[in-house]
Each structure stands twice: as C-alpha cells, then as structure tokens.
Amino acid sequence: MLSLGDVKDRIESLKDRVSSGLEILGISEKEKRIQEIEGKMESTDFWQDKDTANKTLQELKGLKSVIEPWRRVEESVKDVDEMLELVYEDESMMEELVRELDKIENELDKLENQLLFSGRFDSKNAILEIQAGAGGTESCDWVSMLMRMYQRWAEKKNYEVNVIHILPGEEAGIKSVSMLIKGPFAYGHLKAERGVHRLVRISPFDANKRRHTSFASVDVVPEIDEDIEVEIKDEDLRIDVFRSTGPGGQSVNTTDSAVRVVHIPTGIVVTCRNERSQLQNKQTALRMLKARLYELEEQRRCEEIAQERGEKKKIEWGSQIRSYVMQPYTMVKDHRTGVETSNVQSVLDGDIDNFIYSYLKQVSQK
C-alpha cells in the first residue's frame, strides 16, 4: 500500500504534467479563439457564405477536441486532490484514491501523445504513396502488403481511406499506389513512416523457395488546405488525360478521366484516376501537387537552416527505416529507434503505433 506521502507526490506530479500540457498546447489562447468563433456564429450573416461557415465550424470542432480532454483531466486532478484530504481522515478511502490516480495517469499518458503533434500540418489528412523498388513481382507484392498494413492501421484509428491512384504490377501486386487518409492527426502520425521499408522472406513466386529481399518506398505529405498559398503557374504544368488501365472495380475507374500532372520546373509527377470525372481527377491531382511543392519548399528551408548552423543533417527521403524479416526468423525492427518485435503478422495487420510513437518521441527530444 502506498503511503500518504507517495500519493501526494503522485498528485503533485499530475498537476505539473497537466500544467505543462496546457501551456505547450496554448489552451488559453485556443479558448479565446473559441469565444471569437462563437461570437461570429451569433451574427445573422454567419451562414451567408456556407464554405467559410463550414470551415469555421471545423476549426471550432478541432479546437474543442484538443481542449476538452485536457480540461477534464485537470478537473479529475482537482477531485483527487480534494479526495486526499478525506483520506487523511479516513484511510479506508486510500484504495479508491489509488484507482482514480491510475485512471488519470493512463488518460494523461494518452493526451501527452498529442504534444508530439505540434507541427503546422500535423492535424491534417495525409497523402500516402507507396512505390515498388527493384525486385519486380516480389517488390510489387510487398507494396500490396504495405498498402493493406496502412489500411488496417487506419481502420483501427477510425480513419477514412480513399485510393487516389493505383498502378497494378505486371504479374501480381502493385507498382505504386496513392491513398488519401482522412482523420485527426493522420499526417502527424504517418510522417513517421516516410522512407524505405525492407522485406526479407521466402518468395511465394520462387519455385526453389529461396529467400528474397524486397524494397518499397513510402512517401507522406499533408493534404494542404486551399487557403495555404503555393504558387503554381499554368505555364509550369503539363496535364495529360489518358484511359485508366488495370482490373477496374473498386480500385480503378476504367474511363477516360485519368489525369497526370507534371510540374516541369521540379519534375514532380502526380496522377489521379479514381474520381468520377476528369475535372475531379484534375482537382485532386492539383491538390496533391500543391502538397508536394509545399513539402519540397519546407525541406529546402530546413536544409538552409542546417547549413547556417553548420549541421550535416541527413534528409530521410529514400533512407531505409525499417526491416520486416519473415524467414529464417521473425522480426520487425525500426533502424532509427531500435524498437523491434517478433510478431510480424501483428505489424502487417496494422499494429504500428509503437514504431510511430517511439520515432516521434525520439525526434521531439532532439
């Protein structure tokens, strides 16, 4: 049984953690913004511009989703602090107090993960792209396995997944796929997955049952809002319209509506073929291009800052971040953090949060 002194120390620690979280997240400023928004909503002309009104409501919803859990935990800490005074008079209440402390600490652990998502676009939806590396059919099959892994992960988060573009492999699997993953902090999570993923297994496509090593690259960018300014000149674009190829069905819209957009100055190419019309495909492709150009500019800015500081900062694009070994033993290991597990199947079924949070915590401490 904990002593009263131990319990008091735990409560003081909770107070400090809550106070720190409120300050880091700027909860007071967010509450002032809520008051501003609610004031605007009382205006009679608030709904005249529906698009602006809907964006404002989304902002309000997002602010409350951050504030309310922290304020609830703050109140819970006040309650256990008051309960401690009663325990001094009646020690039989100690067991109930400890149970409440355990519940609060577990909830606070979850909330503190939000502090890892302080980037400008961390709260946004994510555009995730997977490309097969060298290895032919084996690598294409690896892409399809990774696609399924991220879809399962998104399901566990109650996120929505829309396949924007998919290019099937010549014999099996997928050469490349682009997915829009919609949900709170989707980009904040998935940015930890950017890099090369390596698979080692006995190939199901090899009659001699030999081990093969396959590679696939994962790229992630945030879905950029229309109000973010990224200059895209018409003369810098080449837009091609073509017929979609592949098996059709749910993944590929077999019409003439597929659109490929090439940004000539940077060589960036984006393709969309899953919308119902050429116009929708073009709009989606341009949003993807906008996100990529913004990400490219952010990378350049970071490189310039690193040079001014005399740092040799490695850009992670294309670097191998994780290995998935299925034979002769089972192991998934993240090479950045050293986190590993022998349960490969669980990881391929979408249990990747341990890898994601470990990496984000490591980055936040630098």
Give the pLDDT mean for 45-52. Answer: 87
The tens digit of pLDDT for each residue in 203-217 reads: 887 767 788 889 999
- Going by pLDDT thresholds of 50, 70 and 90, the confidence category of residue 170 is confident
Give the pLDDT mean for 301-318. Answer: 45
- Map residue 250 onto helix, strand or coil: coil
- pTM more than 0.75: no
Give the pLDDT mean for 312-326. Answer: 66
Give the pLDDT mean for 234-249. Answer: 69
**How far is the CA of 67 from the CAs of 18, 26, 64, in angstroms?**
12, 9, 5
The tens digit of pLDDT for each residue in 83-135 reads: 998 888 888 889 899 999 999 999 998 888 878 887 878 888 999 999 998 77
Class of residue 207 by CB neighbours under 10 A (exposed 0-12, middle 13-18, buried 19+):
exposed
310, pLDDT greater than 70? no
Query: Any idea which architecture 126-309+316-364 has in CATH?
Result: 2-Layer Sandwich (3.30)
Which residues contact residue 173 at a Cβ distance below 8 angstroms, ignoring those fewer than 6 apart?
132, 137, 139, 140, 141, 142, 143, 144
Q: Do 124 and 295 contact (CB within 8 A), yes or no?
A: no
Query: Residue 293: its pLDDT value, please?
Result: 83
Query: Residue 188: its pLDDT value, please?
Result: 93
Class of domain 4-116: mainly alpha
Query: Residue 187: its pLDDT value, please?
Result: 93
Query: Residue 245: its pLDDT value, please?
Result: 55
Which has the closest alpha carbon to 268: 237, 244, 231?
Answer: 237
Class of residue 306 by CB neighbours under 10 A (exposed 0-12, middle 13-18, buried 19+):
middle
Q: Would you list the domain boundaries of the chain?
A: 4-116, 126-309+316-364
Beta-sheet strand order (sheet of 237-242): 237-242, 258-263, 268-272
Query: Parallel, antiparallel, or unpaired for β 340-341 and 331-334?
Result: antiparallel
Give strand ranges (E) for 133-194. Answer: 160-168, 174-182
More confident residue, 298 or 181: 181
316, pLDDT greater than 60? no
- Going by pLDDT thresholds of 50, 70 and 90, the confidence category of residue 307 is low
- Going by pLDDT thresholds of 50, 70 and 90, the confidence category of residue 276 is low
Provide, rounded to the nearest whole percent, the portion of the chain with pLDDT above 70: 88
Q: Do 114 and 65 contact (CB within 8 A), yes or no?
A: no
